[in-house]
Structure 1
Amino acid sequence: MKIGIFCSANEQLDPDFFTMTEELGRWLATEGHTLVYGGVNSGLMECVARAVKQAGGRTVGVLPQIVVKGGRISDYVDVEMMCDNLSDRKQLMGDRSDVFIALPGGIGTIDEVFTIAAAHTIGYHDKRVILYNMKGFWDDLTAMLDRLQQRGMVRGEWRDYIAVANSLEEISELIKG
């Protein structure tokens, strides 16, 4: 399976996020999954790719030109997919991934999550995003989604498009199911 990972490229994060991301990367590789990610050489992006590679897995980095020009390409990218901008990156990752996992991240990660979920609600695909709720990171977002649901702002049930996992075991079950 090709698993798209959305996550932070920042370094100044809770150390537990890095530990849990390494565990996820090792699991991806040992299960024979391919990592599809942003290809950047910092933060959780670099962490997950390094863990995948060290465990013998394969990575696909989807790289906007601005990342390439800035010299921010990870050494752990097996297949480089160049693109013009972040919109192209999301499209390519969406096309190349079977399922998505969102690790802790900021505005870019949230944008990616909702781009995939919105396309699902309209019927462009049936791929899900799994929020890896490390240490309750996504609790506020899921509370907001619940409020949107209660107010009739979400077509169907938001959990049909976005799943929440509090552990690697839950991620594994969601991907198998």
Structure 2
Amino acid sequence: MTAVTVYCGSLRTVPDSYLELAADVGRRIAARGWSLVWGGGRTAMMGAVARAAREGGARTTGVIPRGLVDREVADTDSDDLLVVETMRDRKALMEAHGDAFLALPGGIGTCEELFEVWTARVLAMHAKPVVVLDVDGHYRGLVSWLGELRERGFVSPFALDSLVVTDDVETALDACAS
């Protein structure tokens, strides 16, 4: 069974289209017989992906820092809710429990999580897939900037090739399986 670690937005202010996207990803993870690892919150996109995954029969493992239990409303319905002390602890457990990493639209926390697991892959600290689901150009500026960094010699072709960026949910999940 594949466990997909999903990074995504936790703010309640995102448009409904992002909540629907997160729920769609959760349903499709469950339909593949996979499990979900995520940030352990029940609000916004985090809550949508977890609820939909569970409703489809997926096992869910949430990882949340103690200081965010109230702010992100810890998802006590998860199969496993791991409460940790720090964000670093959270990221380490999410990485350890995941077989692949999928970034949905999100903010600075999502980007920080994405960059950490992607950097670890580039440095051969793991060989797990790292995928960005960019359904509406959410990451367009970031991807463009990464291309500029490559042109300036700061990012290797290998690094860029090791990050899968797609605007299609099925393609993203297929990349998680590779």
AA partner of residue 83 (structure 1): V
| CA-CA distance at 1:71 after TM superposition | 7.4
| SS in structure 2 at match of 1:157 | helix
* Identical counterparts, % of pairs: 30
Give the CA deviation at 1:69. Answer: 5.5
The residue number in structure 2 matching 1:100 is 101
Unpaired segments ≥5 residues, structure 2: none
- Give 5+ residue unaligned stretches, structure 1: none
Q: Please report how far the alpha carbon of residue 102 of structure 1 lies from its aligned counterpart in structure 2 after TM superposition.
A: 0.4
Q: Are 1:162 and 2:169 matched, yes or no?
A: no
Alignment match, 1:64: 65
* Count of matched residue pairs: 177
Using structure 2 for the length normalisation, give the TM-score.
Answer: 0.93
CA gap 1:26/1:69 in 2 versus in 1, 3 angstroms: closer
SS of structure 2 residue aligned to 1:32: coil
The AA in structure 1 aligned to 2:46 is M
Q: What secondary structure sits across from 1:136 in the alignment? A: coil
> Which range is displaced more, 65-74 or 91-100?
65-74
Q: Counterparts in 2 of 1:6-155, with a 5 A limit? A: 6-68=7-69, 70=71, 72-155=73-156
Please say if residues 64 and 90 of structure 2, whose CA atoms lie closer than 8 Å, have aligned partners that are also in contact.
Answer: yes
Amino acid at match of 1:148: L
Instruction: State the distance in 2 between where 1:70 and 1:102 align.
Output: 21
Aligned-partner Cα distance in 2 for 1:86–1:18: 23
2: CA distance between counterparts of 1:125 and 1:114?
14
* Contact 1:127–1:161 (8 Å) recurs in 2: no
Question: Are 1:149 and 1:157, in contact at CA under 8 Å, matched by a contact in 2?
Answer: no
AA aligned to 1:174 is A
Whether the 8 Å contact between 1:49 and 1:76 is mirrored in structure 2 is no
The letter for the 2-side match of 1:66 is G
Q: 2: distance between equivalents of 1:153 and 1:106? A: 23
1:175 corresponds to 2:173:
no
The question of whether the paired residues in 1 share the 8 Å contact of 2:4 and 2:176 is answered with no
Q: Runs of 4 or more off by more than 4 Å in structure 1?
A: none
Residues 131 and 172, structure 2, Cα contact 8 Å, conserved in 1: yes
Write out per-residue CA displacement over residues 142-165 of structure 1, whole angstroms, 9 at most, x where no aligned residue: 101111111110134333331111
Structure 1 window deviating more from structure 2 (9-18 vs 97-106): it is: 9-18
